[in-house]
Amino acid sequence: MKILFIGDIVGSPGRKIVHERLADILAQREIDLCIANGENAASGFGITPRITEDLLASGIEVITSGNHIWDRKDILDFFPHEPRLLRPANFPNGSPGSGLYTGQARNGTPYAVLNLQGRTFMAPLDDPFRGAARELAKIPPDVKVIVVDMHAEATSEKQAMGWYLDGKVSAVIGTHTHVPTADFRVLPAGTAYITDAGMTGPHDSVIGMDKQGVLQRFLDAMPARFVVAEGNVQMNTVLLDIDEATGRARSIDRLNFRLD
């Protein structure tokens, strides 16, 4: 079973490359399931109902998120209507939506996607490790293919989650920092891991934002308006090959696409 995970989609440039390139990529590489982190899809901060629907129509089956999920208030009432849009499962009880989705891939294989958020250098939330154990217990035993989006700032926390879930899930994919890492591997018990899948959006930027505003903020420490950059649009993705019978990963690779 082939799964494509798309790194954080940033603003209209990120959405544009998804709309223009994804359908061909899914067909040419015979992808069975496509997952994307979309929490920065609306001008770099949050996601809207319309953008959610557009991304799902482009071929993405499940959209994960993170700390920016509440930035667009109209998304709050939308959650009950679209279970394929996830927020981190370790948000406090009573938060809108869910952090877990189960479905059936294009090849008929049942799967689950779990969204978690780290706590180190981020807003305090419930424990993602105990949250992972709680959510995994909800997944039916016949669902072997399980992909986890670990949305976190600290590489150590992401790696710890990879080791914690090794052998329990098919893959742990790190998101949030927008810079792809080179530590992709299959861990000893069969879980594919990478600390960060990277970013889908403008790479002539500072993690997707226009360079000038960010540089000015570093230089004078004064408030600055951050806007999404435009140049060198790329789609950073991770390709997983999973044994659908056991849920163990056969391989994990990084794939990078550019906007023609």
203 is catalytic: no
Give the domains, in start order, of the chain with CATH numbers: 2-258 (3.60.21.10)
Q: HSE on the CB side for 120, CA within 13 Å?
A: 13
pLDDT tens for the chain, 260 residues long, are 999 999 999 999 999 999 999 999 999 999 999 999 999 999 999 999 999 999 999 999 999 999 999 999 999 999 999 999 999 999 999 999 999 999 999 999 999 999 999 999 998 999 999 999 999 999 999 999 999 999 999 999 999 999 999 999 999 999 999 999 999 999 999 999 999 999 999 999 999 999 999 999 999 988 888 999 999 999 999 999 999 999 999 999 999 999 87
| Catalytic one of 19, 68, 81, 203 | 68
What is the model's pTM? 0.97
CA distances (Å), origin 116, targets 43, 211, 227: 23, 29, 27
- Sign for the pseudo-dihedral over CA of 9, 42, 154, 217: positive
